[in-house]
C-alpha cells in the first residue's frame, strides 16, 4: 500500500470524537465500592487563572499516563481534578476590573475546564471540587473547629509584614525591596494577634518520618529536613552586668549549637523586638529609631540573610559564664531572629561568617578557637571563618579537645553550675520549624469560624451553623479587608451568652485549602470532611505529581494536616503521599523588539542562515533579539498557548512532545522542531497501523518461505511491553517513548518486507506486534491510539482494554556473553549457548587470541567458571 492510499490522521476530527465517547460511557468515572485493587494518582491542582499553559499540559499528561497504565493493569484508578480557587488575584481582579471575585474565579474555572478536556485526560470529573465552594470550605471550617478542640490551633501575637496603605498582612514574597508589591508603601514589621496551627508540636515526628518516605526524591526529603531544622545545643544563661540594663533584666538566655566556641565570643546580640531591646529603647531614642528601621525589613530568612548586617551597640554588658571579669558588649542586630531560639546569640566571629562580617564592621576582636588538626597553634582567621572540625585552641580548659568533646565538657560544667536558682546551662533540642500562621486580612478566602464576645472571649461557631459563608455584597473601594467594612456580616450574637458579638474577619491562608483536598477527593460529596473508611481505602496517594516549588511548604503542611486529621478521627494514617514526583519546567526562548519589549513567540519569525540564527518581527519585519531560554511566563511572554497547538497538531502531539523530549524531572525546551517531530511520529504510527491493517485484511498468502523473522518480531513486541511498563511505573516516560520508537522501527521493517500480503505465521506475528505497539502508545497518545485500535478491527475501547501480558520465556536469550579475565583482569569475552557444558566454555576461552598470547603455549594453572556469569583464567 502506498502512502498516497493512506489518509493522514486528522486529530481535529478524531480527538473530539473519542472525548465524547469516553464521556458518554463514563469510562473514567469510578465506584468506591469496586472490589479491584485501588490506585490513586493525583497531580497538584491548579489555580484558576483563566488559561492553562504548556507546563500544565506536561504535569497532567504525566499523571494521565500513570492513570491509564494502571487502569489497563486492572486497577480501580482514582484520578480526580479540582481547583485551588481562593486567593489574592481574585480580589485584585475585583479592584481592577470591577468584577466580583466569585464571578471572576468561576469564569476562569469554566474556561480552564474546557481547555483541560481538550487534552483527553482520563479524569473523573464527577469528583470535581473548588476550594471556594461553600461545600468545601464549610468542611474545612469543621476541621478547624476539631483542630481547635484538640489543641492544634492557638491564637497569639506574631510579627508580620504590614502594608500601611493597603492595610493588610503581606507574605514575604509580596515584600519587594522593603515595599508592598502593590501599594509601594514601606512595609512595617507589626505585631498582630493571629491564628496559628501548632505544626511545631509535630516537628520531631515530621522529621523522623521523612526516613519512611522512600517513594520521594532525595532532594525533596533533604529540603524538608532542612526546613524543619533540628539542631542539638544548649540553653545558656548569661549574667547581665549589674547597672547596665533596664531594671528587672538580670539574665540573657541564649540557645547555641556551638557551646564549644564560648571562648571565642566577642559580642552578644539580640533581635530588634527582643524584650531587652524594647526595654532599653525606652530611654534611648537612637536605639528606638534603629529598631523602627529593622521593622521595615522583610521578615523572611532570605531577606535578613541578604541585607547588610547592622547593629546598635547598647550600654548593656554581659558576663562570660566561665570568667566573671570578662564582659561582652550587647548589640541589637538586624540579622537576629526573634522566632529562632531565644532571639539572642553570642557572636563567635572565628567560627561563623555572619559573626565575622559583623565583627570586622564594628572592629570587634576575633579569636580563633578551633584549628584544623594539621594547623599550628598560632592559627588565625583572616576573611573567612573556619567552620570545620579540628582541635580546640585559645580556650583554657578546652584546649586540645575535639569540638565534640569540648561541647560535652562545657555542658557538664554549666549543667552543674547554678545561676538564679537554675542550672546555668541545659542541653536542648531546637527546631527551625515555626507554627503556621493562617490569618489573612482579605475577603476571598475561607472564613475562620470564630466569634469574639466581650463576655465569653473567643467562641467557636456552632457546627450546625457551618458553613460560615462569605457575604456576596462586598465592595473593594477601600484599603483593607472588605469583611471588616461590611455593614452587617460581622455583627452577630454570641452563641454562648447571646450578647452582641463580632465574627472573626480574618480568612485562612490558601495553603490550608490545598493541605487536605486529596482526602476530600475520596468522598467529595460527604456530609463530613471525609468518610474515614473510604479515605483509608484510597490513601495514601500512590503517585503525587507536581512542581519542585511546592517541595517544602505545601508538602509539609499536607503532612501536618494528615496527622491532625488522624488524631481528630477523620483519617487513619499520618503520611498523605506514598510516591512523589517533581517534574521539570517547560522553557522557551525569549524575544525582545528594538524597544526592549517582550514578544510572544507567534510574533517572531525565525531564520537560520548557514547555522546563524536570526529573528524578525512578524508584522513589522524589524530585527528581534533572541534572548535566553527561560521558564515559560506571562511576564516575559515566552509562552505557547496549548489551544493553538491542539488546533494545529492535536492534543496527542503536544502530549507526546512534552513526555518524550527529556527525562521528566528535567526542564524541557519547547521548540517548533520538537513539536513537528512529535507530529511526524503521530502520522507514522497511523501509517504503520493502516499498512499493517491492509496486510491483515488482504487474502492470506500461500504458505511458503517466511520472509521475516517472526520469532524476533514477537520477541521485540514482548520486550517493549516489559520495558514500557517498567518505565511508566518508575516515571521514566522518555525511556518508555524510546522503547515505543524501537518497536515502531521493528514493525515498520517487517511491513516493508512483507509488502501487500503475508502467510499465516507472518500475519499472526504482525497482528500481535502492531496491536502491542498501539496499546503501548495508548497512555501517551490516547485519541490516536483509539483510532488505530479501531482501524485494526477492534470494537472494544482501548481505554477499557487490559494491558498486554509479557511472556518472559520469549525474552530468555539462547546465548550468553561471558567476560573472560586473566589473573583478574578482563581480556575479552566469549559467546556460548546458555547452560553450555563446561568443556565447551573451556575450549572457547582457550581459543581467544588474548588468552593464547598470555599463556605462551603453557596450560593454565586453573580455569574458574561461574556458569552464565564469568570465566577467570589463572596463569
Distances (CA, A) of 722 to 72, 731, 804: 14, 14, 9
Backbone angles phi, psi at 580, to 5 degrees: -130, 135
pLDDT at 269 over 60: yes
701-731 per-position pLDDT tens digit: 877 788 899 999 999 999 999 999 999 999 9
679-697 per-position pLDDT tens digit: 999 999 999 999 999 999 9
Strands of the sheet with 267-270, listed across from one edge:
311-320, 323-333, 267-270, 344-347
Bond from prior residue into 358 cis (ω within 30 degrees of 0): no
Please indicate whether residue 613 or residue 171 has the higher confidence score (pLDDT).
613
Asked if 390 contacts 375 with a C-beta cutoff of 8 angstroms, the reply is yes
Rounded CA-CA distance 317/730 in Å is 60
Q: What is the mean predicted confidence (pLDDT) over 488-503?
A: 96
Percent of all residues in the chain with a pLDDT value above 70, rounded to a whole number: 97
pTM value?
Answer: 0.85
Q: Tell whether 509 is covered by a domain.
A: no
Residue 352 and residue 271 share a domain? yes
Q: What is the mean predicted confidence (pLDDT) over 67-90?
A: 96
Rounded CA-CA distance 423/731 in Å is 55
CATH number of the domain residue 333 falls in: 3.90.740.10
Q: Which of 429, 455, 489 is the last residue of a domain?
A: 429
Range of the domain at 867: 813-874
The helix (H) or strand (E) run that includes residue 684 is: helix 672-697
Q: What is the pLDDT of residue 477?
A: 85
CATH number of the domain residue 822 falls in: 3.10.20.590
Residue 416 and residue 325 share a domain? yes
Q: Tell whether 672 is covered by a domain.
A: yes
Please indicate whether residue 686 or residue 756 has the higher confidence score (pLDDT).
686
Strands of the sheet with 436-437, listed across from one edge:
168-170, 153-163, 188-197, 436-437
Percent of all residues in the chain with a pLDDT value above 90, rounded to a whole number: 70
Q: What is the pLDDT of residue 2?
A: 46
User: Residue 116 CB: number of other CB atoms within 10 A?
Assistant: 19
Q: Tell whether 496 is covered by a domain.
A: no
Q: Tell whether 297 is covered by a domain.
A: yes
Q: Tell whether 133 is covered by a domain.
A: no
- Which is nearest to 122 in space by CA: 175, 69, 73? 69
Strands of the sheet with 870-874, listed across from one edge:
825-833, 815-822, 870-874, 862-866
Residue 714 and residue 822 share a domain? no
Q: What does the block give as the cell for 818? A: 561471558
Residue 389 and residue 248 share a domain? yes
Q: What does the block give as the cell for 820? A: 573472560
Residue 717 and residue 798 share a domain? yes
Instruction: Using DSSP, state whether 221 is helix, strand or coil.
Output: helix
Q: What is the pLDDT of residue 546?
A: 93
Asked if 235 contacts 425 with a C-beta cutoff of 8 angstroms, the reply is yes
Residue 289 and residue 396 share a domain? yes
Task: Write the secondary structure of 777-799 as one string of H (helix), E (strand) and C (coil).
Answer: HCCCCHHHHHHHHHHCCCCCCHH
The count of structural domains within the chain is 3
Residue 846 and residue 723 share a domain? no
797-845 per-position pLDDT tens digit: 999 999 999 999 888 776 788 899 998 888 888 888 777 888 889 988 9
Rounded CA-CA distance 718/765 in Å is 11
Q: What is the pLDDT of residue 342?
A: 93
Q: What is the mean predicted confidence (pLDDT) over 476-487?
A: 89
Q: Given pLDDT bands bounded at 50, 70 and 90, which one contains residue 176?
A: confident
Q: Which of 791, 809, 827 is the last residue of a domain?
A: 809
Q: What does the block give as the cell for 159? A: 510579627
Q: Given pLDDT bands bounded at 50, 70 and 90, which one contains residue 256?
A: very high
Residue 423 and residue 306 share a domain? yes
Taking each helix axis as running N to C, give the angle between helix 54-72 and helix 733-754, from 0 to 180 degrees, rounded to the nearest 10: 70
CATH number of the domain residue 746 falls in: 1.10.730.10
Q: What is the mean predicted confidence (pLDDT) over 332-349?
A: 91
Residue 369 and residue 281 share a domain? yes
The helix (H) or strand (E) run that includes residue 69 is: helix 54-72
Q: Tell whether 389 is covered by a domain.
A: yes
Bond from prior residue into 216 cis (ω within 30 degrees of 0): no
Q: Tell whether 564 is covered by a domain.
A: no
284-336 per-position pLDDT tens digit: 999 999 998 887 775 555 556 667 889 999 999 999 999 999 999 999 999 99
pLDDT at 609 over 60: yes
Return the DSSP state at 3.
G
Q: Which of 786, 809, 832 is the last residue of a domain?
A: 809
Q: Tell whether 156 is covered by a domain.
A: no
Residue 393 and residue 300 share a domain? yes
Sequence-distant contacts of 727-733: CB under 8 A, at least 24 apart: 728/65, 728/66, 728/69, 728/779, 729/69, 731/62, 731/66, 731/543, 731/581, 731/664, 731/665, 732/663, 732/664, 733/62, 733/65, 733/659, 733/660, 733/664, 733/780
Residue 804 and residue 679 share a domain? yes
Rounded CA-CA distance 364/267 in Å is 8
Provide the β-strand partners of residue 431: 230
Angle at 694 between CA 692 and CA 698, to 5 degrees: 120
- Which is nearest to 589 in space by CA: 678, 650, 674? 674
570-599 per-position pLDDT tens digit: 999 999 999 999 988 788 888 988 888 888
pLDDT at 449 over 60: yes
Instruction: Using DSSP, state whether 566 is helix, strand or coil.
Output: helix
Residue 397 and residue 362 share a domain? yes
Tell me what the pLDDT averaged over the chain comes to.
92
Amino acid at each position: 500500500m502506498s502512502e498516497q492510499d493512506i489518509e493522514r490522521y486528522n486529530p481535529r476530527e478524531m480527538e473530539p470524537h473519542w472525548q465524547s465517547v469516553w464521556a458518554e460511557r463514563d469510562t473514567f468515572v469510578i465506584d468506591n465500592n469496586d472490589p479491584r485493587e485501588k490506585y490513586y494518582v493525583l497531580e497538584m491542582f491548579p489555580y484558576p487563572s483563566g488559561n492553562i499553559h504548556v507546563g500544565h499540559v506536561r504535569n497532567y499528561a504525566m499523571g494521565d499516563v500513570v492513570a491509564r497504565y494502571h487502569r489497563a493493569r486492572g486497577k480501580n484508578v482514582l484520578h480526580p481534578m479540582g481547583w485551588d480557587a481562593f486567593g489574592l488575584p481574585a480580589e485584585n481582579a475585583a479592584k481592577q476590573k470591577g468584577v466580583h471575585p466569585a464571578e471572576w474565579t468561576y469564569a476562569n474555572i469554566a474556561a480552564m475546564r474546557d481547555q483541560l478536556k481538550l487534552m483527553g485526560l482520563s479524569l473523573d470529573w464527577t469528583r470535581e471540587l473548588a476550594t471556594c465552594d461553600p461545600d468545601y470550605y464549610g468542611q474545612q471550617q469543621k476541621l478547624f473547629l476539631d483542630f481547635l478542640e484538640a489543641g492544634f490551633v492557638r491564637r497569639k501575637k506574631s510579627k508580620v509584614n504590614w502594608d500601611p496603605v493597603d492595610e493588610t498582612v503581606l507574605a514575604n514574597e509580596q515584600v519587594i525591596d522593603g515595599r508592598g508589591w502593590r501599594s509601594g508603601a514601606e512595609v512595617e514589621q507589626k505585631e498582630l494577634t493571629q491564628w496559628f496551627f501548632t505544626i511545631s508540636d509535630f516537628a520531631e515526628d515530621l522529621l523522623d518520618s521523612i526516613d519512611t518516605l522512600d517513594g520521594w526524591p532525595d532532594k525533596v526529603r533533604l529540603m524538608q529536613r532542612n526546613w524543619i531544622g533540628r539542631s542539638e545545643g544548649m540553653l545558656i544563661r548569661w549574667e547581665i552586668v549589674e547597672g547596665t540594663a533596664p531594671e528587672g533584666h538580670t539574665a540573657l538566655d541564649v540557645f547555641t549549637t556551638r557551646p564549644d566556641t564560648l571562648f571565642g565570643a566577642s559580642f552578644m546580640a539580640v533581635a530588634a523586638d527582643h524584650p531587652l531591646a524594647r526595654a532599653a529603647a525606652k530611654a534611648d531614642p537612637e536605639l528606638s529609631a534603629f529598631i523602627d528601621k529593622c521593622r521595615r525589613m522583610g521578615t523572611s530568612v532570605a531577606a535578613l540573610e541578604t541585607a547588610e548586617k547592622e547593629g546598635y551597640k547598647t550600654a548593656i554588658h554581659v558576663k562570660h559564664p566561665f570568667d566573671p571579669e570578662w564582659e561582652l558588649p550587647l548589640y541589637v542586630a538586624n540579622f537576629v531572629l526573634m522566632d529562632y531560639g531565644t532571639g539572642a546569640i553570642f557572636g563567635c566571629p572565628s567560627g561563623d561568617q555572619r559573626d565575622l562580617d559583623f565583627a570586622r564592621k564594628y572592629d570587634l576582636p576575633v579569636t580563633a578557637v578551633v584549628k584544623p588538626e594539621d594547623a599550628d597553634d598560632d592559627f588565625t582567621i583572616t576573611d573567612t571563618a573556619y567552620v570545620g572540625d579540628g582541635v580546640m585552641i585559645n580556650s583554657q580548659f578546652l584546649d586540645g579537645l575535639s569540638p565534640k568533646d569540648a561541647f560535652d565538657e562545657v555542658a557538664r560544667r554549666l549543667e552543674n553550675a547554678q545561676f538564679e536558682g537554675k542550672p546555668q546551662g541545659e542541653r536542648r533540642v531546637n527546631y527551625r520549624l515555626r507554627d503556621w500562621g493562617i490569618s489573612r486580612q482579605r475577603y476571598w478566602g475561607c472564613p475562620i469560624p470564630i466569634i469574639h464576645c466581650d463576655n465569653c472571649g473567643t467562641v467557636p461557631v456552632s457546627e450546625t451553623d457551618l458553613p460560615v459563608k462569605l457575604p456576596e455584597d462586598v465592595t473593594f473601594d477601600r484599603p483593607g479587608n472588605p469583611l471588616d467594612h461590611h455593614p452587617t456580616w460581622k455583627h452577630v450574637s454570641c452563641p454562648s451568652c447571646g450578647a452582641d458579638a463580632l465574627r472573626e474577619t480574618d480568612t485562612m491562608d490558601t495553603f490550608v485549602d490545598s493541605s487536605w483536598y486529596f482526602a476530600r477527593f475520596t468522598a467529595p460529596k460527604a456530609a463530613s470532611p471525609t468518610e474515614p473508611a473510604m479515605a483509608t481505602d484510597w490513601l495514601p496517594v500512590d503517585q503525587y505529581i507536581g512542581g519542585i516549588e511546592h517541595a517544602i511548604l505545601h508538602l509539609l503542611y499536607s503532612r501536618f494536616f494528615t496527622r491532625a486529621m488522624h488524631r481528630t478521627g477523620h483519617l487513619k494514617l499520618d503520611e498523605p503521599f506514598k510516591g512523589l514526583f517533581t517534574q521539570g519546567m517547560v522553557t522557551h526562548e525569549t524575544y525582545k523588539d528594538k524597544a526592549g519589549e517582550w514578544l510572544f513567540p507567534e510574533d517572531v519569525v525565525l531564520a537560520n542562515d548557514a547555522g546563524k540564527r536570526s529573528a524578525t518581527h512578524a508584522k513589522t519585519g524589524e530585527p528581534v533579539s533572541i534572548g535566553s531560554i527561560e521558564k515559560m511566563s506571562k511576564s516575559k511572554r515566552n509562552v505557547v498557548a496549548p489551544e493553538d497547538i491542539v488546533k494545529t497538531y492535536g492534543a496527542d502531539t503536544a502530549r507526546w512532545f512534552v513526555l518524550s523530549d527529556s527525562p521528566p524531572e528535567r526542564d524541557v525546551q519547547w521548540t517548533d522542531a520538537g513539536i513537528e517531530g512529535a507530529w511526524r511520529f503521530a502520522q507514522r504510527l497511523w501509517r504503520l497501523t493502516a499498512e499493517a491493517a491492509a496486510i491483515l485484511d488482504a487474502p492470506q498468502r500461500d504458505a511458503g518461505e517466511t520472509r521475516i523473522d517472526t520469532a524476533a518480531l514477537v520477541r521485540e513486541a514482548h520486550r517493549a511491553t516489559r520495558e514500557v511498563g517498567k518505565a511508566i511505573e518508575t516515571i521514566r516516560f522518555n525511556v518508555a517513548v524510546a522503547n515505543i520508537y524501537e518497536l515502531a522501527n521493528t514493525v515498520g521493517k517487517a511491513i516493508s518486507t512483507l509488502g501487500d500480503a503475508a502467510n499465516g505465521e507472518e500475519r499472526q506475528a504482525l497482528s500481535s506486534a502492531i496491536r502491542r505497539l498501539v496499546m503501548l502508545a495508548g497512555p501517551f497518545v490516547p485519541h490516536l491510539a483509539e483510532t488505530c485500535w479501531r482501524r485494526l478491527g477492534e470494537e472494544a475501547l482501548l481505554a477499557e482494554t487490559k494491558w498486554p501480558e509479557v511472556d518472559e520465556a520469549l525474552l530468555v536469550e539462547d546465548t550468553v556473553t561471558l567476560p573472560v579475565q586473566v589473573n583478574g583482569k578482563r581480556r575479552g569475552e566469549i559467546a556460548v549457548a546458555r547452560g553450555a557444558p563446561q568443556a565447551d566454555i573451556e575450549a572457547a576461552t582457550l581459543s581467544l587470541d588474548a588468552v593464547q598470547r598470555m599463556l605462551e603455549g603453557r596450560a593454565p594453572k586453573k580455569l574458574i567458571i561461574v556458569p552464565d556469569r564469568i570465566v577467570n583464567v589463572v596463569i
